[in-house]
Amino acid sequence: MALTDFTPLIFIIVAIVGTFAQMMKENRGITTSRRIEILLSWIFLVIVGFGGIWAFIGHTFFADRVAESIGWPVGNPFQQEVGLANLAIGVLGLLSFRMIGSFQVATIIAYSIFMIGAGIGHIWQIITTGNMAVNNAGPILWMDLLVPLVIIMFYLLGQHVHRIEANPSLK
């Protein structure tokens, strides 16, 4: 496995480090809902934002290399469309670092539909063609399926905790 096979894990590590650094900086009086908000912001910035832009660059400028790593035929023009979808989601992720609330919900929806759909596509390729290429059946498959679920879970948890913090009688 090459270092690029671990790129999804690098994005996760950077998001975690950024989260903890910001929490340390804001340590005094930080609420649980604020901690969750910080975590989500870093997930949006690094995993959704930078990850989406990274995928755009790969699918657009290194299309043949990426195609081979996924087990796709080289020269597939469809990659340009996948790259642009990744760019759109990446920009939403970058903006969601600071734009909270409904904007983040829209980003979660777009990201989740695209990534879970891609994950299902990877599984379909594994089942129907035996495609076990590293970027079809490796870490990217797990990222496609698990990260959207983690984002949804933390967003809903954050909303719940915020309501309880605002109205302690709801406990």
Model confidence over 98-113: pLDDT tens digits?
998 999 999 999 999 9
The mean per-residue pLDDT over the stretch 12-25 comes to 96
Reading the block at residue 96, the tokens are 């969601």
Q: Name the pTM for this structure.
A: 0.91
Average pLDDT over all residues of the chain: 93
| Section 125-139 average pLDDT | 94
Terminal alpha carbon distance of the chain:
48
Confidence check: pLDDT of 114 > 60: yes
Please write down the HEC assignment for all residues of the chain: CCHHHHHHHHHHHHHHHHHHHHHHHCCCCCCHHHHHHHHHHHHHHHHHHHHHHHHHHHHHHCHHHHHHHHCCCCCCCHHHHHHHHHHHHHHHHHHHCCCCCHHHHHHHHHHHHHHHHHHHHHHHHHHHHCCCCHHHHCHHHHHHHHHHHHHHHHHHHHHHHHHHHHCHHHC
pLDDT tens by residue, 57-90? 999 999 999 999 999 999 988 899 999 999 999 9
**What pLDDT does residue 5 have?**
62
Q: Per-residue confidence at 29, pLDDT binned at 50, 70, 90?
A: confident
Looking at residue 27, its pLDDT comes to 82
pLDDT(1) > 70:
no
